[in-house]
Structures are given as structure tokens and as C-alpha cells.
Structure 1
């Protein structure tokens, strides 16, 4: 691994150790966040796995609320709730 403090820039595609340094995380913590979907999965190029710096940045922005996340509520599409104004504002009087 190259020392992150000495890099003049962060590469667009990073091996695991570089991605971990970019996020300032240890291996177990970084891989746990990948496993639960906080950070993106890597892509395989040749025989190695790479993380996209752009996708890591997007994930970090979401953590800090820089992008609005609209939660999906399954009830709005369910026939069980089709007449419920809580899930269909157009039915409100």
C-alpha cells in the first residue's frame, strides 16, 4: 500500500488498503461497512478488486445528509392500503 499521506492525489480506482486509508478506517471496520451496504462493493479488474473514489465519496456524502434519501414505504403500493389517505395523499379531504 502506498502511504495515503504522501499521495499527491487519490486515484480514481483504489485497492482495498488505499480505499481504507482514504476513509481513514481499519480493514475490519471498512469491510463491515461494505458488507452492510454503507460503502459500495468493489469491482473486479483483472485479478484485483477496486473501489471507485467517486462511489466512496457519494456514500460518505449520504452519511452526512448531503443527499436527500427518500425512504420507500411498501404500503403505498399495497392493495391493502389503497384507500388509506396516510399513504395516498390524493384521498385526503
Structure 2
């Protein structure tokens, strides 16, 4: 197996060995058994004999194991006006200005 800990990032599509390493460092045999039992995501044939697992599907599998439900829609991040956020952080009230001269 390739040394997965030396990867700078996990690729989106992984070989069987990398998918097993990504899924908590399980063995390839365990990954195959989990796929056969219908627990783990099935691999995708992308060309010829090339078979890959997609990182999103592996993440969803790990989330199910952990007991979390995966939402169909990603959560929207709340954004605020950057000027308002800066003013709030500085302790100023919107619309009021303080003179530096007294």
C-alpha cells in the first residue's frame, strides 16, 4: 500500500488501497467485506479495469457509522456585512461616528 500519511491531500477518486486507508485505516479485505454486505459504498468503474471510490461517498459512509445523518443540502453559511462586522468588533454603533479629536 502507498503511504497515505505522506499525501498532501486525499484525492477525490481513490484506489481500493487508499479508500481503505481513508476509511480509518481498515484493511482492503475489510473494505471488500463491507461493500459485499452493502454497508460501504460500491466502487465505480471509470475506465477499463480502473475502479475507484469517491471521497464524498466514503465520507457519507463514515458519517452513517458515526450516527450522524447527512443532509442532502450543504448548510448555508451566514454572512454579515463586513463593514457592520468590523464596526461591531470595534464597539461602534452603525451610523455613528466618533471624532478622534476632542
With normalisation by structure 1, the TM-score equals: 0.68
Q: Could you give the per-residue CA deviations for residues 3-62 of structure 1, whole angstroms, max 9, x where no partner exists? A: 111001000000101111111111111110111111100110112100011000001101
1:19 maps to what in 2? 19
Which is higher, the Rg of structure 1 or of structure 2? 2
Matched, 1:45 2:46: yes
Distance 1:43 1:34 in 2: 12
1:60 maps to what in 2? 62
Q: CA RMSD for the aligned pairs? A: 1.3
Which consecutive residues of structure 2, in runs of 5 or more, have no partner in the other structure? 71-102
Which consecutive residues of structure 1, in runs of 5 or more, have no partner in the other structure? 69-93
1:2 positional shift = 2.9
1:89 maps to what in 2? none
With normalisation by structure 2, the TM-score equals: 0.62
Distance 2:32 2:47 in 1: 21
Q: List 4+ stretches of structure 1 deviating above 4 A.
A: none
Count of residues in Structure 1 that have an aligned counterpart in Structure 2: 68
